[in-house]
Amino acid sequence: MIRIRSEPRRNLAHEIASQMRRDIISGGFKPGEALAEPALAGRFGVSRAPVREAMIELERAGLVQFETTGRTRVRILEEKDVVEIVEARIALESMGARLAAARWTDEDTRWIERSIAAQEKAASGVKFSELDIAMHEYIMKRGGNERLSTLWQFVRWQFEMALTHIHRLQGKMAPDLRRFSVEGHRKVLTALAAGRPDTAAKVMAQHIKDSIEWYSPK
Amino acid sequence: MIRIRSEPRRNLAHEIASQMRRDIISGGFKPGEALAEPALAGRFGVSRAPVREAMIELERAGLVQFETTGRTRVRILEEKDVVEIVEARIALESMGARLAAARWTDEDTRWIERSIAAQEKAASGVKFSELDIAMHEYIMKRGGNERLSTLWQFVRWQFEMALTHIHRLQGKMAPDLRRFSVEGHRKVLTALAAGRPDTAAKVMAQHIKDSIEWYSPK
DNA sequence: TAGCTGTGAATTGTCGACACTTTACCCCAT
DNA sequence: ATGGGGTAAAGTGTCGACAATTCACAGCTA
């Protein structure tokens, strides 16, 4: 297994940040919703100190925004934000794929093949998205650049948050998207397995660009 | 002028984080040095609460690292880290230049030309580096993607921190680097002014790759 | 009814305190 | 000298408190 960070500081703040992150991404907290520290402290059964620290983590991850008055709200994602998130993904993942291609092994190929197989059998759109993201994460980590992976995590969470709303807005995922997306994954794998950095970067960029257009058809 | 964020939350924590960031980048705190909260609180004349919050900001920016025991130390940058930082810069700035090329105006061209002129007249290597970074920052912001700019800021600070040590290690900056670097800037400007996204991305990547090799000659 | 205003309630920013953990150092045995 | 153990000092994680600020809302005015 691949570990990205040595060990995060294990304290209540980090615990709370992780839980809140999951809740925000899954839509448990709605965009624009105010996050008052006393309420959250009560919810988690702690004092305000760890809650405040958790909010800073979430703000840095872009899931939450501070107002000039000090209030904290769940970040609101608009059309423009989704474009930004995808552009950031392309920037980071192109480089990630480029680096990964130079270090790719047969074991990596097998991992991706298993993932693709699972994607094809995924029972739901949500499950498919999880497998999709997990595969992209694997490639990013495989690139071996911890900073790139860390930056990518931030974008990934914002992307997942956006995905939750797109799903809610558009109902079910377009059925063809999955087939189309898997096709893209196969192309990426081919480039990676061939050890072609330039090709891998280009194919990955195209794959991300393609798949997002299924969500927001212009 | 271009603003990236609406307004940061104005509190002591943010103030302290900014000051500490400057001090760490400039080498006032040495890599590996322990940052004890009581000492910092005394130094800034505040309690530990805002100091703790500032530390979280700095950790997210990668300038500081938490140990599993809770202690905070100034991050130590090794050879491998510099490579990672440069790769991250290439990923982000290629995309930044790509986006900027699509929105470039004559006014932007004039801004860069003024910057290049100043670079040629820069009295010291440090001053040159400042102008260099400022120019790269301008292009990033000009890309119009706030997330990309925010991520870039993190990498930028780490890069500046690394630069401080390289300067200290190698003494003065290689005199030819400046001429060489300015040459790269001119190529970037040409691609931007021509409104060629692909070219701008490629030239920017090459420029960053080139300029770093001057620092760490293999 | 619509808009303004004042007042009470809620929230933030910061502080000092305390228990628990980690570190540093001294002393002793070898 | 050197290494181990124990103890004091220092540091972290969390808490509750308080002043200052912001918000919500009822009541008043036009």
pLDDT in tens, A107-162: 999 999 999 999 999 877 788 889 999 999 999 999 999 999 999 999 999 999 99
One domain for residues A139 and A70: no
Q: Which nucleotides of D are covered by protein (CB under 7 A)?
A: 10-17, 21-23
Which residues 21-40 of chain B have a CB under 7 Å from nucleic chain D? 35-39
One domain for residues B18 and B118: no
Q: Give the C-alpha separation, B75 to B83, whole Å.
A: 15
Gap from B168 CA to D2 C1', in Å? 38
Residue B36 contacts strand C, CB under 7 A: no
Q: What is the pLDDT of residues A150-185, one digit of tens each?
A: 999 999 999 999 998 877 666 566 667 788 899 999
One domain for residues B55 and B111: no
Q: Is residue A1 part of a domain?
A: no
Range B131-158 average pLDDT: 97
| CATH at A176 | 1.20.120.530
Q: Give the C-alpha separation, B117 to B109, whole Å.
A: 12
One domain for residues A107 and A61: no
Which of A55, A74, A93 is the C-terminal boundary of a domain?
A74
Range of the domain at A24: 12-74
Contact A96, A139 (CB under 8 A): yes
Which residues 43-72 of chain A have a CB under 7 Å from nucleic chain D? 45-50, 67, 69-71
Domain count, chain A: 2
pLDDT reported for residue A40: 97
Q: Give the C-alpha separation, A50 to A42, whole Å.
A: 12
- With vertex at residue A85, the alpha carbon angle to CA A82 and CA A86, rounded to the nearest 5 degrees, is 90
One domain for residues B83 and B67: no
One domain for residues B57 and B162: no
Burial B19-41 (b: 16+ CB within 10 A, else e): ebbeebbeeebebeeebebeebb
Residue A2 has pLDDT above 60, yes or no: no
Which residues 111-140 of chain A have a CB under 7 Å from nucleic chain D? none
Gap from A69 CA to C17 C1', in Å? 29
One domain for residues A171 and A106: yes
Q: What is the pLDDT of residues B1-21, one digit of tens each?
A: 222 234 556 688 999 999 999
Instruction: Indicate yes or no: CB of B62 within 8 angstroms of CB of A147.
Output: yes
One domain for residues B84 and B62: no
One domain for residues A86 and A194: yes
Contact A192, A101 (CB under 8 A): yes
> Residue B75 has which token pair?
């991050």
One domain for residues A70 and A83: no
pLDDT reported for residue A5: 35
Q: Is residue A2 part of a domain?
A: no
Q: What is the pLDDT of residues A19-69, one digit of tens each?
A: 999 999 999 999 999 999 999 999 999 999 999 999 999 999 999 999 999
Instruction: Indicate yes or no: CB of B84 within 8 angstroms of CB of A7.
Output: no
Q: Is residue B6 part of a domain?
A: no
